[in-house]
Structure 1
Amino acid sequence: MSLSASDLSSHEAQHDADSLEPVGTSGIAGLSPTKLALRRFRRDKLSMISFSIVVLYVVAAIAAPLLVKLKVLKPNTPHSDLLDVNQGGIPLGKFGGITWHHPLGIEPGLGRDVLSRLWLGITYSLGIALSATILAVLIGTVLGIVSGFVGGIVDSVVGRIIDLTLSFPQTLMLLALSGTMVGFLGGTLHIPKGENGNTVQAVYVILVLALFGWPPIARLVRGQVLSIREREFIEAARALGASKWRIYFKEIVPNLWAPLLVYFTLTMPAYVSAEAALAYLQVSVKPPTPTLGNVLTDSIAYSVSDFEFFFFPAALIAIIVVSFNLLGDGLRDALDPKSTN
């Protein structure tokens, strides 16, 4: 059967229209915003490298207590026979006593294995930072949602609380209240003190970091809620008679997870650094329980005579902080690609 001229021209026009269809449109159209964000994140090599490093640290932190119980790691075992007593307990050999049995050397003075102490220290440092971050995000999210959604006098009261909290000098308050609050937590609330009082000391550090760290999160959430509450789906939920709690948790919170996730990954490294600073001020967990902060503090006295002992904890903290910051930047760019323009 032959085609007429009109049929042939229609066939050619359809072929030309099909050839002008954007490449890859059909593949992208069926993807959800979450899958699009994951695709953008996976294409960022630097973000994937930082994500891999963060996962490695988390796995190491989880595995450390088990390895200590199995006696693979021996963070508190002294090796006095590997120290030069004539030079003030400096490790024998080169590079801080690095050997196959002690890949990062041994600690001057006591002779404890540096790798074991740093590995277990990751567990305590990340545990403190993670607990403080979760608590700060929880407090800030709740107060930010209530402040932004309810408004009026509630918004004003929460705003003044934020201003008052930010006006306190955090480090000075932490030092001044250390003795009183640690005694209160251990005596009144009956929190177990643990080895050398370190359990109650860790709880105190977590509470202080969280109670002084929630205001920026509350301000972030409040701004997001002020924008979300004017959208159509919130008005529809109100018209259908949804309760405030349903609107909070079913309508608002799902739209906040992206900025909260980014803020979470940026707050974690800040609290790792804060724990190290507090250990130097003798407020955080104290030896023999290792944290990255108190191992670094112990190494400062040997920064010249045994530089390797000072270098390894400092480098480990730096890698953790940089990795979390790069991960946070990558998540922000993936979840909000317009922010890179």
Structure 2
Amino acid sequence: MSLSESQLEVSPTPDEPKADDQPQSLEGLSPTKLAVRRFRKDRLSMIAFYVVAFVLVAAILAPIFTKIGIIDPISLNQDDKLIDPTLGGLPRGAAGGITWAHPLGIEPGTGRDVLSRLWYGVTFSLSISLAAAIVAIVVGTVLGIIAGFSGGLIDATVGRLIDLTLSFPQTLMLLALSSIFVAAIQQRTGLSTNPANAVYEIGVLGLFGWPAVARLIRGQVLSIREREFIEAAKLLGASPRRLYFKEILPNVWAPLLVSFTLITPQYVSAEAALSYLGVGIKPPTPTLGNILTDGVNYALTDFTYFLFPAIVIAVIVVSLNLFGDGVRDALDPKADR
């Protein structure tokens, strides 16, 4: 018996879900993505991040703008229309000689543009601070990893070295040994006075700043060295160098990043303090420290010349500190999500 066409028709099946109706797979977020998400939720940290980014870009552009003549932090301007010789070279006009041509006024006695000098000074101050922070981080990380992983006599030796370094009066040594070491640097490298002073500042700040980093990293390594992947690497015959820099170092980058963001503003303030004490880069090459030091002499007669570098230093230091706090909170896995 033949089947009719209606009997041959396949019975309707339930509607299949469309492509748009298919459940989408959930994408897992890495710790880095989670940290970035937490950081973006912190408005204060984001504001600090934008300020820090602006300052870094300005510091990078300052030498370029100086070379092409957009800013001029060095040239003297003895025009009587700008400086009043009867008042000891103080700027004419209100607020330190602020005009459209000189938005932050001019430097007393020399007539240099304050905005140009502050802008160019940010480059030198940040360069010294960042370089010193890198020295402290590198030395502290290497010694902290070696001490924490090795233990025993090596750990005890590094610990005593940390105690010895912290026991030295840093500021007194900076002042007492500056002339000796700067002369030695000039003799060995052939550098002029200001570059030699910069090398001395970087070296001393970095070599006195590593103990805190070493202690932090040592504490992290004491926990990491007991984990299974370290034992597996040992069983596979990994060398100490591989264990230090391939297995342990990638697992301590978070505290290192936080340390770097918190050390750098300390060194910005330290550079200003050292300039006030007579150690560091000398004028006419500007840094935030030596501009502020010179401004102290005019705090009563030309207060704006003292005020502007103080504000710039304060903004940079506060922004770096807030940025560092935001990074620390974002990288903390126990932070509120």
Instruction: Indicate whether the TM-score tops 0.5.
Output: yes
Tell me, yes or no, if structure 1 residue 317 matches structure 2 residue 316. Answer: no
Counterpart of 1:146? 146
Matched with 1:235 is: 231
Q: Give, in angstroms, the shift of residue 90 of structure 1.
A: 1.2
**Which one-letter code corresponds to 1:236 in the other structure?**
A
Instruction: Name the CA distance, whole Å, in 2 between partners of 1:215 and 1:100.
Output: 48
CA separation in 1, counterparts of 2:119 and 2:296? 19
**Which amino acid in the other structure matches residue 221 of structure 1?**
I
Q: How does 1:165-184 map to 2 (within 5 A)?
A: 165-184=165-184
Correspondence 1:137-286 to 2 at 5 A = 137-187=137-187, 189-193=188-192, 197-286=193-282
The one-letter amino acid paired with 1:239 is: L
Partner of 1:44: 42
SS in 1 for 2:297: helix
Give me the whole-angstrom Cα distance separating, in 2, the residues matched to 1:340 and 1:290.
44
1:102 aligns to 2:102 (yes or no): yes
TM-score normalised by structure 2 residue count:
0.90
Q: Match of 1:84?
A: 84
Aligned equivalents of 2:336 and 2:273: distance in 1?
33
The alpha carbon displacement at 1:79 in A equals 2.0
CA RMSD, Structure 1 to Structure 2 (Å) = 1.4
In 2, Cα distance between the equivalents of 1:203 and 1:278?
14
Q: What's the CA shift for 1:191?
A: 4.0
Cα drift, residue 243 of structure 1: 1.2
- How far off its partner does 1:260 sit? 0.4
- Residue 324 (structure 2) aligns with: 328
Q: C-alpha separation between the residues in 2 aligned to 1:182 and 1:30? A: 54
CA distance in 1, matches of 2:289, 2:258: 25
SS, match of residue 338 in structure 1: coil
User: Which AA in structure 2 matches 1:250?
Assistant: K
1:64 and 2:62 are equivalent in the alignment: yes
Deviation string 1:190-218 (CA, Å, 9 cap, x unpaired) is: 2411xxx1000100010000111100000
Q: Distance in 2 between matches of 1:272 and 1:198?
A: 17
Deviation string 1:57-90 (CA, Å, 9 cap, x unpaired) is 1111110011111111111122222111111111
Name the residue aligned to 2:301: 305
Note closer, same or farther for the CA distance 1:30–1:263 as it changes in structure 2 (3 Å cut): same
- Residue 258 of structure 1 and its aligned partner are, at CA, apart by 0.5
Q: When the two structures are superposed, what TM-score results if normalisation uses the length of structure 1?
A: 0.89
Q: Supply the distance in 2 between the matched residues of 1:191 and 1:207 (Cα, whole angstroms).
A: 17
Distance 1:339 1:159 in 2: 31
CA distance in structure 1 between the partners assigned to 2:335 and 2:167 by the alignment:
30
Give the secondary structure class of the aligned counterpart of 1:94: coil
Task: Specify which structure has the higher proportion of helix.
Answer: 1
Q: Percent of aligned pairs with the same residue?
A: 64
The equivalent of 2:18 in structure 1 is: none
**Structure 1 stretches of 5 or more lacking a match?**
1-24
Q: 1:238 to 1:296 in 2, by over 3 A?
A: same
Deviation of residue 245 (structure 1)?
Answer: 1.1
| Alpha-carbon separation, structure 2, partners of 1:339 and 1:37 | 10
Residue 277 of structure 1: CA displacement? 0.3
SS at match of 2:189: coil
3-state SS of the aligned residue for 1:80? coil
How many angstroms apart in 1 are the aligned matches of 2:76 and 2:181? 34
List, as ranges, runs of 4+ consecutive aligned residues in structure 1 with deviation greater than 3 Å. Answer: none
Alignment match, 1:114: 114
1:144 Cα offset (Å): 0.3
How many residue pairs get aligned? The number is: 312
Letter in 2 for 1:32: S
Distance 1:263 1:88 in 2: 46
CA separation of 1:40 and 1:138: change in aligned 2, threshold 3 A: same
How many Å separate the matches in 2 of 1:88 and 1:26? 75
Q: Does 2:284 correspond to 1:288?
A: yes
- Displacement of 1:94 in angstroms is 1.1
Cα distance between partner residues in 2 of 1:53 and 1:34? 22
Judge which range, 278-287 or 234-243, deviates more: 234-243
